[in-house]
Structure formats: structure tokens, C-alpha cells
Amino acid sequence: MVERGSGRSLLLTLCLLLLPQLSAADDACQQLTATGNPEYPPYLWRDPHNPQQLIGANADLLKYLGEALGLKIQVLYGGPWSRAQEEVRTGRIDLLAGYFLTQARQQEMDFVKPPFLHTPSVVWVRQDAAFAYRSWHDLRGHTGGTLVSNSHGQQFDDYATANLTLEAVPSARQAFEKLLHKRNDYVIYEQYPGMALARTLRMEKQLKFLEPPVSSEGLYLALSRESRCNQPALRERLAQKMKEIVSGPLPGQLLEKNLERWRQEQANVQH
């Protein structure tokens, strides 16, 4: 039979042994990792001086968000877009920096609302092979390209699955090259990243995008369900600070700044 005093002493000893572990876990969650689409300027792209890091408007916003909450958020290169998503789904990386919200994705990640930016997705075509386009219906009968695991919003995704012929490839570069080689008629891709990529590949005079956009979707921060740092308190703090940020001019300012940053970087490369 254990005496009452001995029981208390044992409990106290166990608590003291656990405290350093709890403290270490809490300290570890002061540093989070994030990743995203590495072919996504001005939102995200690989740092030419440190290719294992991503830079851009989304990375700058995460850095600001982290500093405001006393967190350090590293935005890392997690591989091509489809692999980057898998890295976050499995919890090897904590956050996705820029994700469209769909029903399927909500089953796998916790989205921090509201979105911090909106981006239009457009129909890219060859300059010499444009076709009449006013609505999604006009894409029927044409073969299109898209990226593996990419989304352009729930409504368009559902329509495309039911009505369109879309072939997915791992990278936007491959999608644009297939388009130029006449292996498809159009590519669905975001407007600003597409403009940036066309400039990089020197395809600006060969490609153009059609109006109107197929969609304009919010870019969200998404937290892995498998991340050990995904706790209600952290999600609440992120959401509250995000509301403050999007109510002001900062997201738009970061977008403009990184458009110019990308232009300068490409100008330096070409010289």
C-alpha cells in the first residue's frame, strides 16, 4: 500500500519530469516552416541567392505575420507544386503559403481566414491560335493544360471535371512549352505568374491570355492537420492577425513591390 504522501511525491516528480518536454514542444512551435508553388512570381519563387528558400509577396507577408506574433516562419523550397502540397499534407512542413480553398482541401488542411490576396486564373493561348472565348463553355472541344494538383476554385474545378479535357503536368514551364509545341490549345494558369513565366522563357510575343478570367480566387494560408504545432490557439492567433493585415494596404503593397523585384531580377539575368 502506497502512503498518501508518497503518492503526492511521485505525482510531483512526474510533473517535474514532463515540464522540460512541454516547454521544448512549445519552444519548437515558435519556429514554423512554410512552402508553396515555386513557379509563382510575384507571389512566390526560388531565391536566386539561396535556392532552398522561397521569396515573393506571400513570403514577405508570412514574415510580417510571424514577427507580429513573435514567431519565426521560414519559407522553404519544398519541390514542384504537387510535391510541396504533399510535404504539408504529411506534416513535414507546417504551412502552405498561398492555397485556393476547395472542399477536398478542407478535408486535409485548416485554412486561415480571410484570404490575404486574390489572384485571377486565365486562359493562355498561342498568339497565332486564339479562339473565341467569353465563358467556360467556349473551352469545350479544345484540349487544355493545367498543373498537377492545381485548383482554380471549386466551381471551375467541378465544371472542368464534368466538361473539359485538361492534361496535367508538374510545372507551369512544361505546360507553356506543350502549348507552344501545339500539344494543347490552351493552358489555365494564374495571370501574374503566367506573365512572369512568359517573360522568363522569352515567350511574351508568342503567348497571350484571354478575357475574362475563368475565376478569381482567394489565396489562403493553410495549416497542415499533421503538424504538431496545429493547435486551436495558434489558428486563432493567425486568423486574428490576418484580419488586421488584410484590412489595410499591406498585401497590395507587397504584391507591387515583388512585381518590381521580379522585373529587376529578370533584367539582371538577361544582362
pLDDT score recorded for residue 21: 44
Q: Please report the pLDDT score of residue 25 as a whole number.
A: 46
Please give the pLDDT value at position 4: 52
State the CATH class of domain 4-118+218-270.
alpha beta
Of 184, 194, 220, 269, which Cα lies nearest the Cα of 65? Answer: 220
Q: Where in the chain is the domain with CATH 3.40.190.10?
A: 4-118+218-270, 119-217
pLDDT at 22: 42
State the cell numbers at 135: 465563358
Q: What pLDDT was estimated at residue 13?
A: 58
Closest CA to 134 of 31, 199, 231, 210: 210
Cell of 97: 503559403
Helices (H), the chain: 4-28, 57-69, 81-89, 103-106, 154-163, 172-180, 191-200, 232-246, 250-270
Give yes or no for a contact between 223 and 238, defined as CB atoms under 8 angstroms apart.
Answer: yes
Predicted confidence pLDDT, tens digits, the chain (271 residues): 445 555 566 655 555 555 444 444 455 689 999 999 998 999 999 999 999 999 999 999 999 999 999 999 999 999 999 999 999 999 999 999 999 999 999 999 999 999 999 999 999 999 999 999 999 999 999 999 999 988 998 999 999 999 999 999 999 999 999 999 999 999 999 998 998 889 888 898 999 999 999 999 999 999 999 999 999 999 999 999 999 999 999 999 999 999 889 988 888 876 6
pTM equals: 0.78
- Packing angle between helix 232-246 and helix 57-69, nearest 10 degrees? 120
Burial class (CB in 10 A: 0-12, 13-18, 19+), 46: middle
Q: How far is CA 205 from the centre of its chain?
A: 28
In this prediction, residue 196 carries a pLDDT of 86
The per-residue pLDDT for 149 is 87
Residue 23's pLDDT is 42
Could you give the C-alpha distances from 52 to 63, 70, 220, 257, in angstroms and in order? 16, 23, 22, 22
pLDDT of the residue at 5: 53
**Per-residue model confidence (pLDDT) at position 267:** 80
Structure-block grid coordinates of residue 3 = 502512503
Is CATH 3.40.190.10 the right assignment for the domain spanning 119-217?
A: yes
